């Protein structure tokens, strides 16, 4: 497994497993156990996904030791203040049934996320968090938080896939020593993702699927990826991406698929801000 070294020296697997939209707790526990069995060590959850408990149960039941796993969770908007973030991190630790979380992220750049970030810094110093970062921070917000915090974010998890490649944002992250992590590496199948002709053609050369080409492209661009699937065969497929290498020409062709905008929502519009601030959890 390729590993990325974060600014504080913590090693993070470059390929992990995400559990967004696996709401059924038994199903989520089964998925995480399957993923660990396949070889995944990074598990990505969030307070907002409502399944931290299931991830915790899988961690406890798994034969793989806690130290070998890398668990990420995220503080939701409604918990984004100094006091609420602390209480919510205690709850995340309890639900995940662990003494520490490998990576804690501010989920969205809304509400009092500076207060929440200060609480994360405190928990980081106390050893309860091994690394801290943010998610969905556009370059302007990222530069701001990287400048005005004692411990700058180590990771920024943003929508990143062939149709929204984040090339300019990644440059800013590199300038500020922030590791880019992709959410939605398959754009959740949007834009006929899995039947895309360019990815299919490139995959045929290596006997690899569209999903494998999509992940490989991001890995070769030094992006951390956390694909989600509830299907164990697909977990294996998505994990089997370290035995081939895309050429410079493949990389350039895939680079041309970039539409440079979100297939989901732009965090900087009034519409998104109204929706996010209107959410109850």
Ligand X SMILES: NC(=O)c1ccc[n+]([C@@H]2O[C@H](COP(=O)([O-])OP(=O)(O)OC[C@H]3O[C@@H](n4cnc5c(N)ncnc54)[C@H](OP(=O)(O)O)[C@@H]3O)[C@@H](O)[C@H]2O)c1
Asked if residue 15 binds ligand X (CB under 6 A), the reply is no
Q: For residue 47, how many other CB atoms are within 10 A of its CB?
A: 21
* Residues 25-44 within binding reach of ligand X (CB under 6 A): 44
* Residues 175-204 within binding reach of ligand X (CB under 6 A): 183-189, 194
Nearest approach in angstroms of CB 267 to ligand X is 9
Q: Name the one range near ligand X by CB under 6 A: 58-66, 124-132, 144-152, 227-235.
A: 227-235
| Distance separating alpha carbons of residues 34 and 4, to the nearest angstrom | 23
DSSP, collapsed to helix, strand or coil, labels residue 163 as: coil
Q: Are 184 and 229 in contact (CB under 8 A)?
A: no
Compute CA 30 distance to the chain's CA centroid, rounded to the nearest angstrom.
Answer: 20
Could you tell me how many residues of this chain bind ligand X (CB under 6 A)? 26
The structure tokens listed for 271 are 């519409």
For the four alpha carbons of 69, 75, 76 and 79, in that order, the dihedral sign comes to positive
Asked if residue 234 binds ligand X (CB under 6 A), the reply is yes
* Residues 115-144 within binding reach of ligand X (CB under 6 A): 135-136
| Distance separating alpha carbons of residues 166 and 111, to the nearest angstrom | 24
Residue 49 is among the residues annotated as catalytic for this protein: yes
Q: Name the one range near ligand X by CB under 6 A: 12-20, 90-98, 168-176, 248-256.
A: 12-20
Pick one of 7, 20, 112, 176: the residue that binds ligand X (CB under 6 A).
20
Asked if residue 219 binds ligand X (CB under 6 A), the reply is no
Pick one of 28, 226, 241, 246: the residue that binds ligand X (CB under 6 A).
226
| Distance separating alpha carbons of residues 104 and 82, to the nearest angstrom | 14
Nearest approach in angstroms of CB 10 to ligand X is 19
Nearest approach in angstroms of CB 62 to ligand X is 18
Q: Are 1 and 39 in contact (CB under 8 A)?
A: yes
What are the catalytic residues? 49
């Amino acid at each position: 497994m390729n590993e990325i070294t974060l600014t504080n020296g913590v090693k993070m697997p470059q390929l992990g497993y995400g559990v967004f939209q696996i709401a059924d707790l038994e199903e989520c526990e089964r998925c995480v156990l399957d993923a660990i069995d396949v070889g995944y060590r990074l598990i990505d959850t969030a307070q907002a996904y409502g399944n931290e408990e299931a991830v915790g149960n899988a961690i406890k039941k798994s034969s793989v030791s806690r130290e070998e796993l890398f668990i990420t969770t995220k503080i939701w908007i409604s918990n984004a203040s100094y006091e609420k973030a602390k209480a919510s991190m205690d709850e995340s630790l309890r639900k995940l049934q662990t003494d520490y979380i490998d990576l804690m992220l501010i989920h969205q750049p809304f509400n009092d996320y500076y207060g929440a970030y200060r609480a994360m810094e405190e928990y980081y110093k106390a050893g309860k968090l091994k690394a801290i970062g943010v998610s969905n921070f556009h370059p302007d917000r990222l530069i701001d938080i990287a400048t005005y915090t004692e411990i700058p974010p180590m990771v920024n998890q943003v929508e990143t896939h062939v149709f929204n490649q984040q090339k300019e944002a990644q440059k800013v992250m590199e300038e500020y020593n922030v590791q880019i992590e992709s959410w939605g590496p398959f754009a959740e199948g949007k834009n006929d993702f899995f039947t895309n002709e360019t990815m299919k053609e490139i995959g045929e050369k290596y006997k690899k699927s569209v999903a494998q080409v999509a992940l490989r492209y991001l890995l070769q661009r030094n992006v951390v990826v956390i694909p989600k699937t509830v299907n164990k065969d697909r977990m294996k497929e998505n994990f089997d991406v370290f035995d081939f290498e895309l050429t410079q020409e493949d990389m350039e062709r895939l680079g041309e698929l970039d539409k440079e905008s979100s297939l989901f929502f732009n965090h900087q519009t009034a519409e998104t801000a109204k929706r996010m601030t209107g959410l109850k959890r």
